[in-house]
Structure 1
Amino acid sequence: MTNNNKSRRIGVILANLGTPDGTDYWNMRRYLAEFLSDKRVIEWPSIIWQPILRLIVLSTRPKKSGAAYARIWNREKNESPLRSYTRSQAEKLAALLHESKAAAKAQTANAELDIDWAMRYGKPAIGAVAKAMVARGCGHILLVPLYPQYAASTTATVNDVFFDSLKAMRCQPAVRTAPAYADNAVYIDALANSITAHLAGLSYRPEKLIASYHGIPQSYVRRGDPYYEECKRTTAALRQRLGLDNEALLMCFQSRFGPEEWLQPYTDKTIEKLAKEGVTSLAVFNPGFVADCLETLDEIGNEAAEIFHKNGGTDFTHIPCLNDSDEGMRVIEHIVRQELQGWL
């Protein structure tokens, strides 16, 4: 394909965290080895961390994580929910953009849109998808890390592998990366509408609402990571949009790993404390996750619910992520349209 034609094709890659190919020991080990070897995720010196990872973590954690994945596995497609949702998001985005007036104008200008998806860890790999797009003639590529709040261990590592893939290309495309959107009005409205609709379908009104974000070590924040502040921005915007105060809508952090102190308050400890204090009904949602995955479906939907009930709570509900719903796709489409301005 000539450079002239190549420049007229625009690629969009939706990128999320990653997923194992199966729940068995070896698939889990391969996935965890890649994930936990990322220096953006574990910032300890390799000479200290790698022996711990290889000799201890990868000997025990694959079995435990595999059992957790098995509880939420999409058995119909034999894949994780995150893979199912991310693929669907890309397919729906392609339909939305190709049917839009903006896409129609692009077609008039002989520009074509190429929408695909990728994972930071596991398959399909970001580098492989980027390479395939260039081979198909994409002279422009927009990378969209599917993380509403920026963190070095999520957004930055997605960008890292994307730019690494460009190093092997003699003829590189023009590239952009979409920024985080912690308090973007379209995103906040979508979350608020999703929460309101879910609560309206319950036979009870939860006494407390918890926004549970994935945690990071406090040391990362001290080194300059903006993640904590971005989570605060999302929570503040939601409180305002829903008309709730700090006591009605709590901000917590889940999924801690290792001996370091992570961002607090911890979700599991907060849920246990609320139940012991007499709170009988609770709703938890995950505004930092674009799609439901292990951390939402199992850690919250199963483990957090068990903690609540075990300590005296009665009614517990997990509010699903936006996923590939109309509200969720409205957010993704908005972000992509915004970042494609000037190319279309």
Structure 2
Amino acid sequence: MHTVAVLALDHVVAADMAVPVEVFGRARRADGIRPYHVRVCGEAPQVVSEAFTVLAPHGLEALRGADTILVPGCSEQAAPVGPRVIDTLRAAAADGTRIASICSGAFTLAHAGLLDGLSATTHWLATERLAAMFPKVDVRPDVLYVDNGRILTSAGASAALDLCLHMIRRDFGSAVAADCARMSVVPLEREGGQAQFIVHATPPVPRGSLLEPVLAWVEDHLDHDVTLASMAARCGLSERTFSRRFREQTGTTPVQWLLRARVRRAQYLLENTDDGIELIGARAGFGSPTAFRERFKRVVGVTPLAYRSAFRRRLPA
């Protein structure tokens, strides 16, 4: 019997708690035996969640005897994780326990020093903050989960489902994991990663700056042949001077900014229109359908057609 301990912290995100409890609790081997014993552990017997109170029948000492520990995320109202929790996680990691985080639970693992020198992920809204707070962590914003062997991290609550299925497959094989996926009404593996959910906003430009009018013009003319030379010419600057000032004011290059603007326009058109893929590529300013498909998939992680299938907003008849 493989013991899974789910850590209940103050202001824990309810969905982050529910996913591992449900998925591991439902798992069945071919002979009908449940391979996992799930227990909820906490520093206190009751923990306040976003919507209700979570009961934690087991204390922190129960984490030490678990084979796997799941650390859910907490809301922004949560107090910093206490030293007892940090020390317990460090001791469990030293014992070789598999420890996985869900969403902002990655911050708890990082505070414990368990992500130093490793790749990790969290919800895409928090990846920049995680990277800034913990420079020793290689933060990957575009994936659903990261498996470092004994230490694993995942993005939001739905990505926790992907991570749990991945661990079940590691433990008991694809057949058991596939059965759990069917029970949860999800595919065993999702196409693409977290990148498809990221809002690709362009960096802000200081109001009244030299760049503000030219970038507004670019946004209105993405379906034209906008180039570095044409942007620089509208500012009356050389390409080198324009590129330098652009990076100073936005933190990125003109070419990278333009690609993100085109991708964002294509996402909007895929979600909100019935236009064909080739027409959308042209309206977003990609040179050819092939270039559109290749660059869109490189940035978003899935093809334009797959993105439309997942995110299209159904238009009224």
Q: Specify the structure having the higher radius of gyration (Cα).
A: 2
Which fold has the larger relative contact order, with Cα–Cα distance below 8 Å and residues 6 or more apart in sequence?
1
Q: With structure 2 as the length reference, what TM-score do the two structures score? A: 0.29
